[in-house]
Amino acid sequence: MQTLPCDNIPMKPHRRPTRRFQFLVFSSRFLVFFRHLSLLITLFLAACGTAAPATPAALALPARIIGFWSPETGTLNAGEAQPWRFIAESGDVIRVQVSGSAAVTLTLDSPDGVRLAEGTDQIEASLSSGGIYSITVTAIETTQYEISLIYTDRPNPADYTPTPLPVTIVPTSTPLYYEQLGTFISLIRSGETLERSFVQRDERHVYTFEGQAGQYINAQAVRISGGVDPVLTLYAPSGGALAADDNSGGAQTARLRSVRLPGDALYTLQIVGQGTGTYQLNLLTTSNPVPLTPNFPAQPIPPTLIPEVVAPTLAAAISGDPLTDHVPIIGNIERAGDFDRYPFQAASGDILTVSIRLPDGSGLNPLLEVFDPLGALVASTSGVDGVIGALQVSETGTYQVFVAGENNTTGTYIVAYGRGFSSEESRRGMTIADQTYSGEIARQGLRETWSLDLNPGDVISAAAGSLDLNFDPVLELVAPDGSTIAMDDNSGGGLDALIASAHAPIAGRYTLRVTSANALGDGAYSLVWRLINLAPTATPLPGTAPIMIFNDRITEGTYQFYPFYGEAGMSIRVQAIAAPGGNLDPVAVLIAPDGTQLVEGDDSEGDLNPRFTATLPTDGTYMVRVNGYLSSGDFTLTVEQLFEASSAP
């Protein structure tokens, strides 16, 4: 991972030059000097001859020569001007800087006399042609000054200070640029596992291995103990990063998968510990990519036709235990004068139905009473099949149902309560579309339920038609979670119920319920439902396998770059997710191996995190660039390869 200022984003970071690089620089500059010998002769003649005219207010001194990276000094009286000459190449980017005890002005002129720049302490310019350029320093008052001329697009060779090689026994000396990556540990071979420890948080360990063009390398750095969280980076011999990873192998495990090597050379693996502790590094080189095992999301499973239990067993009643909605229980008054009590919860405005009936052979003459949370009697009934129907309550709290035997009678009974126009239900089983079913509400307080299986997005209609002159059916469609999707009483004309259109929000088993309006009637009816719109088959979700995962932090005003290896035709998904609770608004850009920006992501639907997919155009090392939009904070960057569902095992 590299961090660069937003306003200066070089494609490659500068590195300290090697001794070999210094030699090449020296040789190159010698050739340039030789090639421009005529220019140098002209320059010296110009310096010894008549100076170029200065501004009218300044007295011009003889011209002097200045070289790059070689500061010069001078003394000027007020109003004097000192010309300086230097040779430059087309495309050079330069800076002229003056320091001294008094103010001066600076001008830069091209070989043909065109004024390129003016300033006071310093001026910068990008030169469009080769030749002899002129700098003029004009003193506003008497001063001593120092002038320096530098390239701004390359390092000063004199700044290089050799770093001592690490003390370790290796077959050959380590190339110099490796030393900038960390402490050289050892060579590592394919199939080898090495174990080392970080004793300081900021340590960096470097390993090298011999690679061949076209080979694929797979490497893993995994925490063994302590707080180490390794970050693993593969470097080419040139020093450029080929791929990097933090946690794609799982927590505290960095993994590089099937990175193809571009040539025969000595490659470098760098491990940054981000903590202290012990880790293991293993390396495997192969002639072919190691197949990835994608993780496929669980696909929706069509609902299974579970047999309906149409006649549930009645549970034994225990006086004092609460009643459950539409769950009848069987109790017994054993002695004359006894009573049983059953509480249930209700809220103000609820519509309730409470019922009592007798099984065969019972001698009980039942009395059924309902008391509100304040202890007031709100409803009562007596008789063999007593129903308190469509009772709308005004208080929220615990209601009490009392059962007793009138005239000192005893015997068994079945008691129930329910929300709505029924207290008991009869399950009639599964149904299919476009088939008519016959049902009957045999007594007051009863409802019948029919089951049907729907998928998300299905739209149906349903109708319950009365087959008895005085029977008024009410029809409900209920979702698998018990919520009511639609309800109707008389929209079908007359006493018929019609749900014209109802949408299934989830997959599962739905229920059509038929009750009698106000729980006061009974009779026969017909039921039919139809599919208005069959939901389309959902597109299977793709499988994924992690290529790179980084948990990192970014500061405002910087870009950070994360390299990974990809191949032509590979489908990937990129996500940069800000840590919860932070202020980061991340922006992510996918950059091709040639530096082209392929995709930029900013906000996604529902949040500020960029998420996008792309198909890679070529083989090579790609970069994901991340920055915070006027913000900073922690984030997780994930790059995943996508696999079609048809490739699932």
The answer to whether the predicted template modeling score (pTM) of the entire model surpasses 0.85 is no
Whether residue 24 is found in the same domain as residue 154: yes
Say how far apart CA 400 and CA 347 lie, in whole Å: 14
Inside any domain, residue 98: yes
* Per-residue pLDDT band at 193 (split at 50, 70, 90): very high
* Per-residue pLDDT band at 5 (split at 50, 70, 90): very low
Whether residue 40 is found in the same domain as residue 90: yes
The CATH number given to whatever domain includes residue 225 is 2.60.120.380
Q: What is the pLDDT of residue 613?
A: 93
Whether residue 563 is found in the same domain as residue 641: yes
Say how far apart CA 318 and CA 338 lie, in whole Å: 14
- Is the predicted pLDDT of residue 134 greater than 80, yes or no? yes
Inside any domain, residue 147: yes
Average pLDDT of the chain, as a whole number = 83
* Per-residue pLDDT band at 518 (split at 50, 70, 90): confident
Whether residue 184 is found in the same domain as residue 150: no
Q: What is the pLDDT of residues 430-439, one digit of tens each?
A: 999 999 999 9
Inside any domain, residue 413: no
Q: Which amino acid is at 415?
A: V
Whether residue 32 is found in the same domain as residue 153: yes
Q: What is the pLDDT of residues 325-346, one digit of tens each?
A: 999 999 999 999 999 999 999 9
Q: Which tokens is 500 given?
A: 């014209």
Q: What is the pLDDT of residues 354-367, one digit of tens each?
A: 999 999 899 999 99
Look up the domain containing 632 and give its range.
543-647
Q: What is the pLDDT of residue 62?
A: 84
Domain end (from 512, 533, 554): 533
Q: Which tokens is 395 given?
A: 């208080």
In this prediction, residues 495-512 reach a mean pLDDT of 92
Q: What is the pLDDT of residues 361-414, one digit of tens each?
A: 999 999 999 999 999 999 999 888 889 988 999 999 999 999 999 999 999 999
Q: Which residue has the higher pLDDT, 292 or 472?
A: 472
Instruction: Judge contact between 107 and 158, C-beta under 8 A.
Output: no
Say how far apart CA 193 and CA 216 lie, in whole Å: 17
Inside any domain, residue 509: yes
Inside any domain, residue 538: no
Whether residue 146 is found in the same domain as residue 257: no
* Per-residue pLDDT band at 479 (split at 50, 70, 90): very high
Q: What is the pLDDT of residue 129?
A: 87
Q: Which residue has the higher pLDDT, 507 or 177?
A: 507
Whether residue 236 is found in the same domain as residue 125: no
**Closest by Cα among 220, 169, 231, 163 to 195:** 220
Whether residue 525 is found in the same domain as residue 481: yes
Domain end (from 408, 438, 461): 408
Inside any domain, residue 382: yes
**Per-residue three-class SS string for 12-74:** CCCCCCCHHHHHHHHHHHHHHHHHCHHHHHHHHHHHHCCCCCCCCCCEECCCEECCCCCCEEE
Inside any domain, residue 164: no
Residue 112 exposure: Cα atoms within 13 Å on the Cβ side: 4
Q: Which of 38-42, 78-82, 193-197 has the lowest mean pLDDT?
A: 38-42
Q: What is the pLDDT of residue 142?
A: 87
Q: What is the pLDDT of residues 241-296, one digit of tens each?
A: 999 999 998 888 999 999 999 999 999 999 998 889 999 999 999 999 988 777 87
In this prediction, residues 216-231 reach a mean pLDDT of 94
The strand pairing partners of 507, in sequence order, are none
Which of left, alpha, beta for 111 (phi over 0: left; psi -120 to 50: alpha)?
alpha
Contacts of 630 (CB under 8 A, 6+ apart): 556, 585
Counting beta carbons within 10 angstroms of the beta carbon of residue 280, is it exposed (0 to 12), middle (13 to 18) or buried (19 or more)? middle
Whether residue 143 is found in the same domain as residue 27: yes
* Per-residue pLDDT band at 29 (split at 50, 70, 90): very low
Whether residue 640 is found in the same domain as residue 520: no
- Is the predicted pLDDT of residue 69 greater than 90, yes or no? no
* Per-residue pLDDT band at 22 (split at 50, 70, 90): very low
Contacts of 341 (CB under 8 A, 6+ apart): 319, 320, 400, 401, 402, 403
Domain end (from 376, 408, 440): 408
Inside any domain, residue 254: yes
Q: How many domains does the chain have?
A: 5
Whether residue 97 is found in the same domain as residue 200: no
Whether residue 341 is found in the same domain as residue 376: yes
Instruction: Judge contact between 139 and 102, C-beta under 8 A.
Output: yes
In this prediction, residues 152-163 reach a mean pLDDT of 61
Q: Which residue has the higher pLDDT, 151 or 54?
A: 151
